[in-house]
A and B are shown apart, each in its own frame.
Chain A
Amino acid sequence: GEQVEQLPSILRVQEGSSASINCSYEDSASNYFPWYKQEPGENPKLIIDIRSNMERKQIQELIVLLDKKAKRFSLHITDTQPGDSAMYFCAATSTGGNNKLTFGQGTVLSVIP
């Protein structure tokens, strides 16, 4: 099955700077890559996703990049704010079947005021 590696596990950035989280996957058939934000005691919330027909997607301060050849994708949060502090998970799956999402190990992001 699919394996997803996520780095770093812990990320501390200064308010206003950018934060980047990187993920890699193994299954070349994977074609859907969502990102979830999970705050303590809360459920994971979908914040942005990208499909394999795109290389870049941006929603406000969130940018996701996908490199299919390298089997890597990344999340970039520009102009970070204290409210961005949370745990972030990447995931991958292949659509067209009934395959499950495989999650990365998570990144704890702390934005220092």
Chain B
Amino acid sequence: NSKVIQTPRYLVKGQGQKAKMRCIPEKGHPVVFWYQQNKNNEFKFLINFQNQEVLQQIDMTEKRFSAECPSNSPCSLEIQSSEAGDSALYLCASSLSPDTLYFGAGTRLSVL
């Protein structure tokens, strides 16, 4: 079983609502990634952190998402105003280094 814990497993929101998901990385892993996997199973990188600092993020994340990885608290990813196109599986992954990623079970978001 994955040691990366994501909550909730399922999230249903209406358009325009906020959608927040959380991730507890594997203990001792300083690097955290968020990916979006769409209905075609395509992976889209959203943002990554090393400790509490953002390393990289795409434009969409910067404009529409709020993300953080505070010390001693779960990491979080929040869509500020959900759109139908945001419906997807959101995967959190952690790593000791920036390459080998271990994924959590994901949060499946449905925007109605």
Where the two chains meet, the residues of A that have a C-beta atom closer than 8 Å to any C-beta of B are 32, 34, 36, 38, 42-46, 49, 87, 89, 93, 95, 97-103, 105-106
B residues adjacent to A (C-beta < 8 A): 2, 4, 33, 41-43, 45, 48, 50, 55-56, 91, 97-106
Do A43 and B43 touch across chains, with their CB atoms under 8 A apart?
no
A79 to B13, CA, bound (A): 45
CB of B86 to closest CB in A, whole Å: 19
- CB-defined contacts of A44 to chain B, threshold 8 Å: 91, 103
Classify the interface of chain B: helix, strand, loop or mixed: loop
**B48, B50, B98, B105: which contacts A95 (Cβ < 8 A)?**
B98
B56 touches A49 (CB 8 A): no
The 8 closest A-B pairs by CB, nearest first: A103-B43, A98-B55, A43-B103, A32-B99, A100-B45, A43-B105, A95-B99, A106-B41
